[in-house]
A = this chain, B = another copy of it.
Amino acid sequence: MAAWGQRLAGVRGVLLDISGVLFDGAEGSGVPIAGSVEAVARLKRSRLKVRFCTNESQKSLGDLVELLQQLGFDISEGEVTAPAPATCLILKERGLRPYLLISDGIRSEFDQIDTSNPNCVVIADAGESFSYQNMNKAFQVLMELENPVLISLGKGRYYKETSGLMLDVGAYVKALEYACGIEAEVVGKPSPEYFKSALQEMGLEAHQAIMIGDDIVGDVGGAQRCGMRALQVRTGKFRPSDEHHPEVKADGYVDNLAEAVDLLLQHADK
């Protein structure tokens, strides 16, 4: 593999995944990953642009940012690209009234959305709310529609909490896709629109930006398909087999965000 100087040349902005890169979640809280608080602070003091790009869909954006601030991170809502606000825009533009298969933690994001007489389903990381009853309701809503629309906030397979790996929304999306014979529209990584909107917020072209994430498919593969570079951290949901993934090869693997920032500050924007 080429030297880091070559791999990071011309990088002017960094997209940071949040869960598994900044912190590991736990029931209602979380712990920062060692060195990440300082790494974010160092990045923000540098000439590099920084944007947070998350698929978090169990907490509202406000709650997520508040938690991160409590953990010591320098972050504000305006710096985060998150799927719920993007979904609300789509629902309004297309006159869609969703049945919401979501956790209570993110329900406030949809306060302004008409959910009467649903003509689509919105599915997010619902955790314990993925009961058979709720899944069946979503299924029945879709089966009643002539043109079933299923909008998914991300399509992750799993994420890591301090207690272990946890099933993510993507698994439940697959369940509904199979049962109904449909394909979901994904809002969030790895959707190209989602990465492009984050790039637009930064005022950068894809070749000037690098994604740092713990998901070899959603973060690394997704960003690379948009023409960005991408590093995988060996934290969060990282598994050793990711470094030999049959389809995706990161532009580099680093132990954690701190190491990524060391390398970026040394080699990027040169």
A residues bordering B, Cβ < 8 Å? 126-133, 135-136, 139-140, 143, 157-158, 164-168, 170-172, 174-181
Contact = CB atoms under 8 A, between A and B. Distances in A.
Nearest to A181: B157
Chain A: interface secondary structure? Answer: helix
One complex includes copies of this chain to the number of: 2
A164 B137 CA distance: 10
A116 B128 CA distance: 26
A178 B178 CA distance: 11
A159 to B, nearest CB: 11
A178 B157 contact: yes
Nearest to A143: B165
Contacts of A166: 136
Given A170-B179, A177-B174, A133 B128 contact: yes
A176 B178 CA distance: 12
Given A128-B132, A157-B181, 15 more contacts: A126-B132, A128-B131, A129-B132, A131-B131, A131-B132, A139-B165, A139-B171, A140-B165, A158-B179, A167-B175, A168-B179, A170-B179, A174-B177, A174-B178, A175-B175
